[in-house]
Amino acid sequence: MIIDAADVLIILFGFTLFAFLHTYLASNKLKKFLAERYGSSVAFYRLVYNLISIITFYFLYETVPHPILIIYDLPYPFDFIVLIPQFLSLSGIIWTLKYFDAKEFLGINQIFRWFNKEYDSKELDEKLTLNVRGPYKICRHPIYLFSILFLIFRAEMDLSYLTFLIAIIVYFYIGSFYEEKKLLEKFGDEYLNYQKTVPRIIPFAFPNSKSGS
């Protein structure tokens, strides 16, 4: 158990370092500096940022220990029944993607605009859009909601997976504050009114203009 506790602390420490790096690289302060220094070439930043995120997370996952202590292992037929909410949450992710500009998120649109000499460095690394339709009527961050549900519903849970799951949920929640700060800067009262009527991540929670659930 002492070894398992130490492994959990190492995982959390490693994930915290990843989260700080990820958050810093996503900050508008850094992006504005790069835009001032490199102009419209900042259009390539989003793609580079995504690649760095994938590589660093893979490195984190492969480097930290993986305690194999089993938390639970659902017997038949519950191991199949748990697939139902997992399928529904996956459907929710697909539903959200219909209202989500995946090419802009990945950084592909930015590069096309750059090659067409249509990129405005004031955009920094993406064109922010305000989504209030479809799943965005349920909560302000539906991709986080459905991703969390997809990860939670699992037939078998070990200590390694549970630790990563908790770290990811906390990171999603904290990260949503940083995302909304950018949206408030961009859309002002329009987004503030949206915050007041739609909860942050948990559906049906009482929305709050400052924090929200």
Please name the helix (run of DSSP H) or strand (run of DSSP E) that holds residue 163, with its range, or none: helix 159-187
Please indicate, yes or no, if residue 212 is contained in any of the structural domains: no
What range does the domain containing 105 cover? 2-197
Bridge partner list, 157: 72
Residue 96 belongs to a domain? yes
pTM: 0.87
Instruction: Tell whether 148 is covered by a domain.
Output: yes
Q: Does any domain span residue 139? A: yes
pLDDT digits (tens, 9 = 90+) for 27-84: 888 999 999 998 889 999 999 999 999 999 999 999 999 988 999 999 999 989 999 9
**Residue 207 structure tokens:** 């929305």
Q: Is residue 208 part of a domain?
A: no
Segment 155-198, tens digit of pLDDT: 999 999 999 999 999 999 999 999 899 899 889 999 999 999 99
Note the pLDDT of residue 209: 44
204 domain-assigned: no
Q: Is residue 147 part of a domain?
A: yes
Amino acid identity for residue 43 in this structure = A
Whether 97 is covered by a domain: the verdict is yes
Strand partners, 156: 73
Domain count, the chain: 1
Residue 77 preceded by cis peptide, ω within 30: yes
Question: Is pLDDT of 210 > 60?
Answer: no
